[in-house]
């Protein structure tokens, strides 16, 4: 989605082409279209490879001769405007021609430097970000049809020129009947159906690509993309995200999120507060006092660290256009359709990783980062840890934004995962993007600032909170229902355990240690049964203690 609630968004002065909805195609017709571009991309890559190897040592042998023969027959059918371009450029251009789904896919793939070659990710970052806009009458019709109310009952006026237009939706500034300045975001017509249809095709393609390119995990990438994109098209989720962020930061007035106007919002239309602020790279922000700019950087560090490492719920589409500097100064976050969520185990692991980094502990940083990855077939976790530890140590010796920043360190560490077949969840990649954005914006506001020094106080606070008595009590209460259930079943478990132990002890009159072995096995079996029944965690060992004592008594008595 485009930047939408900032007064000086650069997109405001752009002249938009008229959006033409893609013709409705059956699943089979769409399949043929995508296959045409897929084969065009494959044979286009072949043409580039043949030309690149011509006249070199690699341009010899039977394999190259077969490639030239295949290229001779396929080259005439390729698009002349694309076939001589480098492969990354061909990929980008074909994604643009396939429409909004594939543009969005390419934008997400541009973040996956952990599994894709850098030339490809760099080229995909050039994908169209300012796309044709629907005509203003069509935009108004979208609002009335989705909200079921006339415009004049809700708004005094709506600006005809959009603030921005992206692959999924576009935004306009408006004023409510109460005089509140707002922005209205609407999903373009036909986009949800296109996304669902293309998601089905991509899912089928993922199975095929998984066979040909298992190293890059295409099936997993496509699944992640489909999930995130289909969520983003439901604007009620963005409304929920904004309200969740506001609740998480209710104790910090310097970090704000736009208010949602639920009465003017629905599944395909979202109305939210207009932030009358400035981008962090604008001239007015650069002219602010040093004290205010230092406060902004500190607020940014607090926001990012709390989102990622405390809440496990963070802005996953951060860039300077989605960060707004408001009077105060305050830091405003907008465009909240794409968020990252981390389960507790991953969040804690990445907290320990970041904490080790800023504290200069390269060995532990490498260990925690390795724990966050999933080894693929033929993965080398030990080699990955050694490599990351070396890179982290090098960063500590030369830590500055120009030569080797913290963001670059994390990005390079994650990128090296592909060499060792260590794959990271998409949340990890989105987290890296958020950190890199924070560091880049911080350099704009305070050139030469030390991101590790600024982060230490905030990450230390979050780290300590993990072990506070209140936090530990809350974690313990999560398992309270299972604990109560296990205590209720305790008498039955002990009674059955004693019965089994007595029978086992009677059978072992000649060898008391055999009885001990049998009763211990029974005790272990009962503990396993208790775990299966729901009493999990380290407390399960408490059940083992009485069995161990009873087993010893029975065994000694029998042997005496």
Q: Is a pLDDT exceeding 80 seen at residue 254?
A: yes
User: Quick one: CA dihedral 46, 51, 53, 55, positive or negative?
Assistant: positive
Q: How far is CA 506 from the centre of its chain?
A: 60
Q: Using one digit for the tens of pLDDT, what is the confidence trace for 187-219?
A: 998 888 888 888 888 888 777 777 766 666 677
524 neighbors 551 (Cβ within 8 angstroms): no
Q: How far apart are CA 270 and CA 346, in angstroms?
A: 32
Same domain, yes or no: 248 and 353: no
Residue 351, domain member (yes or no):
yes
Question: Would residue 307 count as lying in a domain?
Answer: no
Of all residues in the chain, what percent carry a pLDDT higher than 70?
75
Closest residue by Cα to residue 458 from 304, 281, 258, 241 = 304
Per-chain mean pLDDT for the chain: 79
Same domain, 453 and 530: no
Q: 448 and 536: one domain? A: no
Whether residue 150 sits in one domain with residue 53 = no
User: DSSP letters of 53-100?
Assistant: HTTSTTS-HHHHHHHHHHHHHHGGGS-TTTTTS-HHHHHHHHHHHH-H
Highest mean pLDDT among 34-43, 171-180, 411-420, 507-516: 171-180
Q: Tell me which of 199-203, 341-345, 404-408 is least confident.
A: 404-408
Helix, strand or coil for residue 360? coil
Q: pLDDT class for 297, splitting at 50, 70, 90?
A: very high
Q: What is the pLDDT of residues 106-126, one digit of tens each?
A: 877 776 665 678 888 888 888
pLDDT digits (tens, 9 = 90+) for 417-453: 878 888 888 788 788 878 888 888 888 888 878 787 8
| Domain finish residue from 453, 472, 491 | 472
Question: What local confidence, expressed as pLDDT, does residue 490 receive?
Answer: 65
Domain assignment of residue 416, yes or no: yes
Q: Give pLDDT, residue 466.
A: 72
DSSP secondary structure code for residue 394 in this structure: H
Residue 405, pLDDT above cutoff 80: no
Please tell me the predicted confidence (pLDDT) of residue 246: 96
Q: What's the pTM?
A: 0.71
Q: Fill in the DSSP letter of residue 308.
A: I
- What number of residues does the chain have? 560
pLDDT at 288: 93
**Residue 231 counted as domain residue:** yes
Last residue in a domain, options 270, 304, 337? 337
Q: Which helix (H) or strand (E) holds 256?
A: strand 255-256
- In this model, does residue 250 exceed pLDDT 80? yes
Q: Are residues 148 and 207 in the same domain?
A: yes
Q: Is 301 part of a structural domain of the chain?
A: no
Query: Alpha helix (H) ranges present in 398-511?
Result: 401-404, 406-415, 426-445, 451-465, 469-478, 480-506
**Together in a domain, 279 and 134:** yes
Q: Is residue 393 part of a domain?
A: yes
Beta strands in 75-188 (DSSP E): 155-158, 164-165, 169-176, 181-187
When mean pLDDT is compared over 20-29, 379-388, 394-403, the highest value belongs to: 379-388
Closest by CA position to 336, among listed 281, 280, 256: 256
Cβ within 8 Å of residue 124, ≥6 positions away:
88, 91, 92, 95, 106, 107, 109, 110
Examine the pLDDT at 472 and tell me if it is beyond 80: no
Looking at the fold, whether 9 and 41 belong to one and the same domain comes out as: no
Residue 98: is its pLDDT beyond 50? yes
- Among 36, 61, 88, which residue terminates a domain? 88
Tell me the average pLDDT across 161-177. 90
Residues 6+ apart with CB under 8 A from 49: 67
Beta strands per DSSP E along 296-415: 313-315, 323-326, 330-333, 339-341, 374-375
Mean pLDDT of 154-165: 92
| Alpha-carbon span 7 to 176, nearest angstrom | 17
Tokens, residue 194: 């296109």
Cα distance between residue 501 and residue 495, in whole Å: 10
**Whether the predicted pLDDT of 509 surpasses 80:** no
Quick check: helix, strand or coil at residue 216? Answer: helix
Q: Are residues 331 and 381 in the same domain?
A: no
317 pLDDT band, cuts 50/70/90, is confident
CB 170 within 8 A of CB 164: yes
Residue 291 lies in a domain: no
Compute the average pLDDT of residues 389-410: 71
Give yes or no: residues 441 and 325 share one domain.
no
Mean pLDDT for 389-400 is 74
* pLDDT surpasses 60 at 547: no
- 56 vs 543, which has greater pLDDT? 56
Residue 545 has a pLDDT of: 47
Q: Give me the pLDDT at residue 21, please.
A: 60
Are 28 and 71 members of one domain? yes
Classify residue 187: in a domain, yes or no: yes
Determine the structural domain holding residue 270 and report its residue range: 1-19+99-286+315-337
Of the listed ranges 102-106, 143-147, 522-526, the one predicted with least confidence: 522-526
Q: Which of 109-123, 255-269, 360-374, 460-474 has the lowest mean pLDDT?
A: 460-474
What is the pLDDT, as a whole number, of residue 411?
81
For residue 506, what pLDDT is reported?
A: 59
Q: What is the model's pLDDT at position 550?
A: 52
If one counts the domains in the chain, the total is: 4
Instruction: Specify whether 84 is located in the same domain as 219.
Output: no
Radius of gyration of the chain (CA): 29
Identify whether residues 514 and 467 lie together within a single domain.
no
481 pLDDT tier (thresholds 50, 70, 90):
low
255-289 residue pLDDT tens? 999 999 999 999 999 999 999 999 998 889 989 99
Give pLDDT, residue 428: 81
If you average pLDDT over residues 34-43, what whole number do you get? 87
Report for 93-107, 353-367, 422-436, 449-463: range of highest mean pLDDT: 353-367
């Amino acid at each position: 989605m485009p930047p939408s609630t900032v007064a000086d968004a650069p997109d405001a002065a752009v002249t938009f082409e008229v959006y033409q909805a893609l013709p409705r195609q059956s699943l089979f017709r769409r399949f043929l279209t995508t296959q045409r571009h897929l084969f065009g991309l494959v044979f286009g890559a072949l043409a580039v490879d043949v030309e690149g190897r011509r006249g070199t040592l690699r341009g010899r042998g039977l394999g190259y001769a077969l490639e030239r023969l295949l290229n001779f027959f396929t080259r005439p059918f390729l698009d002349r405007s694309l076939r001589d371009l480098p492969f990354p450029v061909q990929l980008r251009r074909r994604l643009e021609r396939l429409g909004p789904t594939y543009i969005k896919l390419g934008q997400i793939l541009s973040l996956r430097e952990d599994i894709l070659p850098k030339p490809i990710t760099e080229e995909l970052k050039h994908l169209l970000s300012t796309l044709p806009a629907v005509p203003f009458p069509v935009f108004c019709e979208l609002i009335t049809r989705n909200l079921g109310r006339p415009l004049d009952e809700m708004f005094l006026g709506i600006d005809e020129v959009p603030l921005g237009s992206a692959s999924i939706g576009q935004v306009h500034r408006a004023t409510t009947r109460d005089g509140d300045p707002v922005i209205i975001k609407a999903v373009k017509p036909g986009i949800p159906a296109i996304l669902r249809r293309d998601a089905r095709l991509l899912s089928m393609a993922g199975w095929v690509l998984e066979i040909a390119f298992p190293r890059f995990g295409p099936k997993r990438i496509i699944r992640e993309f489909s999930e995130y994109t289909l969520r983003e098209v439901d604007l009620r989720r963005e409304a929920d995200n904004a309200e969740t962020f506001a609740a998480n930061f209710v104790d910090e007035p310097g970090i704000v999120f736009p208010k949602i106007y639920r009465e003017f919002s629905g599944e395909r239309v979202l109305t939210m507060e207009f932030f009358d602020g400035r981008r962090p790279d604008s001239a007015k922000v650069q002219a602010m006092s040093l004290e205010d700019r230092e406060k902004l950087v500190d607020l940014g560090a607090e926001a990012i660290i709390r989102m990622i490492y405390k809440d496990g719920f963070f802005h996953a589409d951060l860039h300077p256009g989605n960060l707004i500097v408001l009077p105060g100064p305050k830091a405003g976050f907008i465009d909240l359709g794409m968020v990252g969520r981390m389960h507790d185990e991953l969040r804690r692991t990445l907290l320990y990783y970041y904490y080790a980094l800023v504290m200069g502990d390269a060995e532990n940083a490498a260990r925690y980062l390795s724990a966050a990855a999933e080894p693929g077939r033929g993965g080398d976790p030990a080699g990955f840890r050694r490599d990351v530890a070396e890179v982290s140590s090098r960063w500590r010796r030369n830590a500055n934004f120009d030569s080797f920043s913290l963001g670059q360190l994390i990005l390079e560490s994650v990128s090296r995962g592909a060499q060792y077949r260590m794959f990271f969840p998409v949340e990890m990649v989105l987290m890296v993007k958020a950190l890199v954005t924070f560091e880049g914006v911080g350099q704009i506001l305070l050139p030469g600032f030390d991101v590790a020094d600024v982060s230490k106080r905030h990450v230390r606070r979050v780290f300590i909170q993990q072990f506070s008595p209140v936090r530990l009590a809350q974690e313990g209460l999560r398992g309270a229902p299972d604990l109560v259930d296990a205590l209720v079943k305790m008498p039955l478990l002990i009674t059955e355990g004693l019965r089994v132990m007595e029978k086992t002890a009677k059978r072992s009159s000649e060898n008391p240690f055999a009885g001990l072995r049998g009763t211990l096995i029974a005790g272990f079996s009962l503990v396993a049964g208790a775990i299966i029944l729901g009493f999990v965690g380290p407390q399960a060992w408490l059940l083992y203690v009485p069995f161990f004592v009873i087993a010893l008594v029975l065994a000694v008595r029998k042997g005496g």
